Structure 1
Amino acid sequence: MHPLAIAAVLLAALTHATWNLAAKRAAGSRHFVWLYSLGSVVLYAPAVIWVLISERPQLETAHWVALLMTGVLHMGYSLTLQAGYRVSDLSLVYPLARGTGPLLSFFAATFLLNEPASALSVLGVLLIVGGILMVSGLTSEPHKAPRAGIALGILTGFFIAGYTINDGWAVKTLMLSPFLVDFTGNLLRLGVLAPMALRDRVNLIAEANKYRSPILIVAVLGPLGYILVLYAMKHAPIGHVAPMRELATLIGTYFGARLLREQVTPVRLTGAVLIVSGVVTLAATG
């Protein structure tokens, strides 16, 4: 993989884990997704306007389909992830979501987009996914893992795989700007969730004040991290970028242990080593 693509993915992993920590801390908010979507639209609108003026993209049917799909898939991802955080730990839902997503993304990129796959790249993916399963605790204490948390974590992973393939197609084949792709997702969430949010203005205002810091963190870092990922996808195979993002799982596990006081066992530490090994293996195949 190109060094700039690797650097973009690594920085994206840090921003992703950071905003997920903020999202977990705002798990009690009913309108958190709408609030941070509003923040993202306001903050990133100038950059998107600049892209539209400077690049003057000619949008055809395929472009509109890609933008609509990214909006739908990202909305499903955001709502499912936040629902998972309401019922379970960051250190369970996050690894499950991040483990299911890259596995599906890798095979979809291989079989649907005809990206090359080697025995070494498959080994890298399996190491990452196996490590994430260990980090989640499902291999050692599955009876203690909340079923709702498991289901929502896996469902989130399906949305991750869906938007990864769609958005990779959008930036690599259709040549859409990463800024435009990410902005569309935020704009659609904002519009679809607005009626529910605005009908509950008392709670909306109260949550905006109570969760001001998490809202700002996600509004800034959510788009930033994903724009970096989309940039990496333009310069590297999607099937490699998607699993490499899972370095965020290490950071998320650390946050869960140190900041949210969730338990980290030797099994989880072993899983962390497997994740790093898988990332190194994937990087070596690019």
Structure 2
Amino acid sequence: MSLTVFCAVIFAAVLHAGWNALVKGGLDKRTAMGAVVLGHIPIAAAVVPFVPLPDAASWPYLACSIALHLGYQLFLMQSYRMGDLTQVYPIARGTAPLIVALVSVVILGVHLEPMELLAVALIGLGLVSLGLVRRADGQRNGKAATLAFVTGLFIASYSLIDGLGARLAGTSLGFYGWSAIGNGLVMAGYLAVTSPATLRVIPRSGKRVAVIGGGASFIAYALVTWAFTQAPIALVTALRETSIIFALLIGVVVLKERLDLAKVTATALTLMGAALLRFAR
């Protein structure tokens, strides 16, 4: 993986941890998540006129991408209602690189060097191990862990679909721009049916999250989608999940969540995996 791709994905990881903290820190998770997703629309609408239209071969992937991102967002909302940022975020993000690596090697026939496989395993296992942490009251939170795991399945699925789709599209930014618009419109429709009040509240109380969180989220995944076209999807997915380190810092310092040995150990494993991934080839 080149230094340029490495730095772009690390920057995306920082942005991703930041907008997740905004959603978790908000009083109403539905409003916060809706604001982030709807915040993509004006940015994407300003971008797509200046980039090529995705090739028609990528359109089925585009449709799948929109559906999978919506599923991810809905399960993430539920996860944050049940658990801490420092538990939910690592489990959700940690399962994805393991699944993506498995599918890439076994089904897609992607060749990864032994050191790269070890790096992916360290990152994934370090993050998933946070499913063992306890809540602030000392009790285990199995429901949050389960929801976070399902969220991770969605992450793995849309990562593979978006990586393959962006390559077929011939334009990573065009592919993600239209995906973001479609995802925003579908989210708006979902909220209109299930919670019209939320849709009305977002322009007022959700404006800050829409601008800051939506902007950070769009830039982060635009960088990741581009990286998918420059390096193996499994490696990009694994490196992106180093955002746990930044989410851990935000959760402990800003959200005042408890720090324990399991979280410190998982962070150390993740850092080791990231270092191996950078210098594997």
Normalised to the residue count of structure 1, the TM-score between the two structures is: 0.89
2:275: which partner in 1? Answer: 280
How far has the Cα of 1:110 moved from its partner? 1.4
Alpha-carbon distance in 2 for matches of 1:195, 1:226: 22
The correspondence of residues 14-53 of structure 1 with structure 2, limited to 5 A, is 14-26=14-26, 28-51=28-51
Is 1:263 the counterpart of 2:222 in the alignment? no
Alpha-carbon distance in 1 for matches of 2:261, 2:189: 47
How far has the Cα of 1:167 moved from its partner? 0.9
Post-superposition CA distance 1:46-71 (Å, at most 9, x none): 211111xxx355x32x3111100111
Alignment length (residue pairs): 278
2:59: which partner in 1? Answer: 64
- Give the CA RMSD over aligned residues: 2.1
- Rate the CA distance shift 1:126–1:213 in 2: closer, same or farther, 3 A: same
Alpha-carbon distance in 1 for matches of 2:177, 2:252: 32
- Rate the CA distance shift 1:181–1:32 in 2: closer, same or farther, 3 A: farther
How far has the Cα of 1:113 moved from its partner? 2.2
Alpha-carbon distance in 1 for matches of 2:146, 2:177: 28
CA contact (8 A) 1:84 1:153 kept: yes
CA contact (8 A) 1:132 1:272 kept: yes
Structure 1 residue ranges, 4+ long, deviating more than 6 angstroms after superposition: none
Paired-residue identity, %: 28
- Rate the CA distance shift 1:270–1:204 in 2: closer, same or farther, 3 A: same
Alpha-carbon distance in 1 for matches of 2:92, 2:139: 18
Deviates more, 1:182-191 or 1:3-12: 182-191
Is 1:94 the counterpart of 2:89 in the alignment? yes
- Rate the CA distance shift 1:233–1:202 in 2: closer, same or farther, 3 A: closer
The correspondence of residues 40-189 of structure 1 with structure 2, limited to 5 A, is 40-51=40-51, 55-57=52-54, 59-60=55-56, 62-134=57-129, 136=130, 138=132, 141=134, 144-172=139-167, 174-189=168-183
Post-superposition CA distance 1:16-52 (Å, at most 9, x none): 001100111235243444333322111221211111x
- Rate the CA distance shift 1:144–1:221 in 2: closer, same or farther, 3 A: same
Q: Helix, strand or coil for the counterpart of 1:66?
A: helix
CA contact (8 A) 2:88 2:145 kept: yes
1:191 partner amino acid: L
Normalised to the residue count of structure 2, the TM-score between the two structures is: 0.91
1:192 partner amino acid: V
CA contact (8 A) 1:8 1:231 kept: no
- Rate the CA distance shift 1:271–1:33 in 2: closer, same or farther, 3 A: closer
The correspondence of residues 222-233 of structure 1 with structure 2, limited to 5 A, is 222-233=217-228
How far has the Cα of 1:238 moved from its partner? 1.1
Post-superposition CA distance 1:111-157 (Å, at most 9, x none): 222211232122112211222134x251x659833222111110111
CA contact (8 A) 1:72 1:188 kept: no
How far has the Cα of 1:101 moved from its partner? 0.5
Deviates more, 1:11-20 or 1:107-116: 107-116
CA contact (8 A) 1:102 1:243 kept: yes
